[in-house]
Structure 1
Amino acid sequence: MFDFLILISRYLFIIYIAVFIFQGLIYVVDERKGDPRRLPKAVSIQRSMIILMHITAYSILIWDREAKTININVAVSGIAALIYIFVSYHLLRKIYKHGCPLIWNCMYFLMDAGLIMLQRLNPTLAGKQLIWMTVSAALIMLIPPMLKILPKLEKFQAFYFCLSLALILMPFILGDEENGSLNWIKIKGIGFQPSEIVKFLFLLYIACVFRKPLDFKKLCIVSGFSAFIVLCLVLQKDLGGALIFFVTYMLLLYITTSNFLLLAAGFGAMALASIIAYNLFGHVRVRVFTWLDPWTDAGNTGYQITQSLFAITTWGFLGSGLTRGMPGKIPVVERDFIFSAICEEMGTLFGMGMVCIYMLLFLRGMFIAVRAKRRFYSILSAGIVIMFSFQTFLILGGVTKLIPLTGVTLPFVSYGGSSVLVSVALMGLLQWANGTPAERIKCEEEEEENFENKLSVFGFFKKKA
């Protein structure tokens, strides 16, 4: 019975994600046309696909092959996760009245796919992940009521600056090395990455500075601030994090100033810094060599990436079937290589579908940035989308050998409390920017000057008159 369900599920998972993506495209296209008639139905069908995927997966995972019986603990975990999806989704829709349901759907689909694979790989970590997901949802439910009470977010520019510097320096004093990187802090057994929290503060600070015209002094201060954070992450051997902050800053600087020379100078400096880092740091050379030819030392330095490639390619488009693969052979599979595990057991078509869901988030997020009513929210939204999308590109490119592996997490999918917390919080902030009501804007101290959004460089969106 369960073997038959596993066989059928290989096709069902592809159907679920294909229908989800198709309805997402309907939503995006119809919204741009200004035709809302099919939007509620598209959102409803997407929710149904999430629920069906969850029920199908846990119907397989509850079977204990060794004991040949139902695993009650897994069944309880599956029901608890389903309750979490139902309750948190409806509360978020109620609290974020002007939020985009497509963004919530994409977020929940990705989180559920990650939770399913974590339950398959390590039930203990899956339980912890569900707790972090619940905490994250509770946290972003506080954002709208909190921001209705607080003055403008722009008022806390100095706070974002100082707290960012304090957090990024903490690992040098209290840091705990993990997987070769000194970017973790553990307090009473609970570990977190300060750099994840800094992402949130960094975007708020940059939006505060860029909301008004830049002079040379401001440019030097904000560039020095960004460079300091990047340098700290490089010294902590968090190269992926350093790249994320650098690329986000440079693209936001270009969007704000439209100065191509600044963009070229920035990426030129990055190229020079990469050459210097390659010659100074041995771990950088190892990562480059492993990327160029992982097969030469497949049993040692190239083991992770070769196992990842085997996992992605061995079982083809439909995968081996949930519980039929061997994703546990990949080191750190729950964090860095969970996408490879998903492709192995749920199919490369499912993996490609996940990439499409990230693209839907990118498109809808950029639409929010273009339509934002004030410059601050426009820059903040663009920063969230750029940071989120580039992080996704880094990890997907790394596990598929497109680029050197940098060790960042896959948003919403990989295991990690601080990663999930910040990713969900950024989506909450994006939804707040999307639904900032007109009455709040009128009550703010000053109206920003009309901001002709430079995001049209992406070629898809046009700001409405």
Structure 2
Amino acid sequence: MATIVSYTARPRRLTQALLLAFAVVIGVGAYALVGLGRFDEVPADLMQVGVGSAVLAAALQVVVMWRTPYADPVILPLVVLLNLLGIAMIKSVHAANEIYGLRTSASADRQMLWGIVGVVLCLVVLVLLRDHRRLRRYTWISAVVGGVLLLLPLVPVIGDSRNGSRIWINIAGNSFQPAELAKIAFAIFFAGYLVSRRDTLALAGPKVLGIHLPRWSDFGPILVAWGFAMAVLVFETDLGTSLMFFGLFVAMLYVATDRLSWLVIGAVMFLPPAVFAATQMSHVRTRLTCWLDPLSSDNYSSCEQINQGLFGLANGGITGAGLGEGRPDVVPHAESDFIFTSFAEELGMVGAFALLLLYLLLVQRAIRAAVGISDGFGTLLAGGLGFTLALQVFVVVGGVTRVIPLTGLTLPFLAAGGSSLVCNWIIVGILVRLSDAARRPAARQVEGLDAPAAPRPAPEAVS
């Protein structure tokens, strides 16, 4: 005799609360260790950091219990831990620069402030976004907003060029990188557009060299996305951002159509502009040269950043120099572009792999939400946002380890910078909402409001 029993997903809010507490303890402990390593005493603001982190974690827990009770219990603890570890490392870099008489624009206090803003916006998303399917109504508005944000740095008055790339805007002395917000808008647009045209895009066209090409009538969307990516590459000289947007669209195309040919077509289309940038743009050409041979006598001075980063990686060894014991002051932009190198030096290869594991778990949870959602729009949106995080981590870590050339993207939640941190917290809010929809048992949503779950049939015994 066999018994068939129906199972109901559990909210697991207690699990999330325990993981959040664990993340706060580790993050605040890392902040204390940085002070002990640099100055042989705990930081004077340790109590404020600990209490503030606990309050924000409690606010996240309460709002999730209220608005998204079935959300994935692992996403928020992972992000809180990454954010606090980033603050601790920025504190270490800033302290090292002060000790050795160097100036730095980033500080742990400023990163804490941006972290608070990001958490507040995440809470706003969770409270106001009752149903992720509402975002589909703004498909074309998101496209316009994303395009405007992407091209804002080209406006003469507010556009700002730094380190060879024009990807910043400066208003009243405050700088912002609009591409970080544009990636959210484009993810919403791509999800809304592709879910309504996935059937026609999946139709195979002519076969060339063993690859099924799309029909010519369906080739328009990828050409538009390619044009935007190339505009960013040519006019803003930013290979990383153009790669991120075009890669996001191609990856979402693959998820929508399940056709490997889209990935091949995307790679082929992006290769010629990348070659053009490497040969014709001095900024990109220098990065390519530093990727190929940074230690040669001819390139050493222009490749100082990547060289010092490699030395920092080597100095870390297996277990690292210890928090607050490294020399990140010798690496330019060690708190932003090269923060992974700072971690690897002070935490060693073990700590570096632990960070990558945290990112892997975060991306896996996003993909898990994408698989579990019943509607196509949610699947594409969760998959696209998860891919964006994965691509940024790969591009940044691959750049500082010389797997690929440097691109200028920032490591999510760790690197100093308000634009990236705030926008990534918004992404987390959307992912938490999507994971709630994926795990909610037998739930119906009417006009964006959660309706009571339909009663499940009682377990039946079957002989």
TM-score where L is the length of structure 1 = 0.81
The question of whether the paired residues in 2 share the 8 Å contact of 1:93 and 1:101 is answered with no
Q: Secondary structure at 1:435's aligned position in 2?
A: helix
CA-CA distance at 1:381 after TM superposition: 0.4
Q: Whole-Å Cα distance in 2 between the matches of residues 77 and 182 of structure 1?
A: 37
Contact in 2 for aligned 1:209/1:218 (Cα 8 Å): no
Deviation at 1:105, TM superposition (A): 1.2
Task: Show the counterpart of 1:131.
Answer: 113
**Gap change, CA 1:429 and 1:43, over 3 Å in 2:** closer
Which sits farther off after the overlay, 429-438 or 386-395?
429-438
Shift of 1:102: 0.5
Q: Aligned AA for 2:58?
A: V
Bigger CA radius of gyration: 2
Residue correspondence of structure 1 range 427-442 to structure 2 within 5 A: 427-436=428-437, 441-442=445-446
Cα distance change on mapping 1:103 and 1:58 into 2, 3 Å: same
Q: Which amino acid aligns with 1:206?
A: F
Post-superposition shift, 1:392?
A: 0.6
Q: 1:84 to 1:299 in 2, by over 3 A?
A: farther
- The question of whether the paired residues in 2 share the 8 Å contact of 1:296 and 1:302 is answered with no
Do the aligned residues in 2 keep the contact of 1:320 with 1:345 (CA within 8 Å)?
A: yes
Return 113-122 or 52-61, whichever deviates more.
52-61
* Larger deviation, residues 97-106 vs 203-212: 97-106
Asked whether the equivalents of residues 321 and 346 of structure 1 are also in contact (C-alpha less than 8 Å), the reply is yes
The whole-number CA distance in structure 2 between the counterparts of 1:230 and 1:151 is 27
Q: For residues 146 and 218 of structure 1, what CA distance do their matches in structure 2 show?
A: 38
Q: 1:211 to 1:80 in 2, by over 3 A?
A: same
SS in 2 for 1:333: coil
Q: Which has the higher contact order (CA 8 A, sep 6+)?
A: 2
1:148 and 1:48 mapped to 2: Cα distance? 26
Identify the residue that residue 5 of structure 1 maps to in structure 2.
none
**How far 1:379 moved relative to its partner?**
0.4
Q: Is 1:147 paired with 2:129?
A: yes
Instruction: Note the 1:274-289 alignment, pairs <5 A.
Output: 274-289=274-289
Q: What is the CA-CA distance between 1:307 and the residue it aligns to?
A: 1.0
Report the structure, 1 or 2, having the larger helix content: 1
| Identity level (%) | 26
- CA 312–92 in structure 1, closer or farther in 2 if over 3 Å, else same: farther
Alpha carbons 2:168, 2:177 under 8 Å: kept: yes
AA aligned to 1:86 is A
2: CA distance, partners of 1:35 / 1:308: 50
Q: Which moved more, 1:255-264 or 1:40-49?
A: 40-49
Partner SS for 2:321: coil
After TM superposition, list the pairs within 5 Å mapping 1:66-215 onto structure 2. Answer: 71-72=43-44, 74-94=45-65, 95-122=67-94, 125-148=107-130, 152-173=134-155, 174-214=158-198, 215=200
- CA distance change for structure 1 residues 50 and 218 in 2, over 3 Å: closer, same or farther? farther
1:259-270 paired onto structure 2 within 5 Å: 259-270=259-270
Distance 1:69 1:47, change over 3 A: closer
Match of 1:6 in 2: none
**Once superposed, what is the RMSD of the aligned Cα atoms?**
2.8
Native 8 Å contact 1:103 1:364 kept in 2: yes
Per-residue deviation, 1:342: 1.0
The answer to whether the Cα contact below 8 Å between 1:88 and 1:137 also exists between their aligned partners in 2 is no
Cα distance between partner residues in 1 of 2:75 and 2:426: 13
Distance 1:150 1:388 in 2: 19
Distance in structure 2 (CA, Å) of the matches to 1:251 and 1:301: 34
Number of residue pairs matched?
A: 410
Structure 1 residues 193 and 211: CA distance shift in structure 2, 3 A: same
Flag the 1:265–1:345 CA change in 2: closer, same or farther, 3 A.
same
Separation in 1, partners of 2:123, 2:18: 24
Give the aligned residue type for 1:222. Answer: P
The residue type equivalent to 2:317 in the other structure is G
Give the alignment's TM-score, normalised by structure 2. Answer: 0.81
Q: Determine the structure 2 residue equivalent to 1:9.
A: none
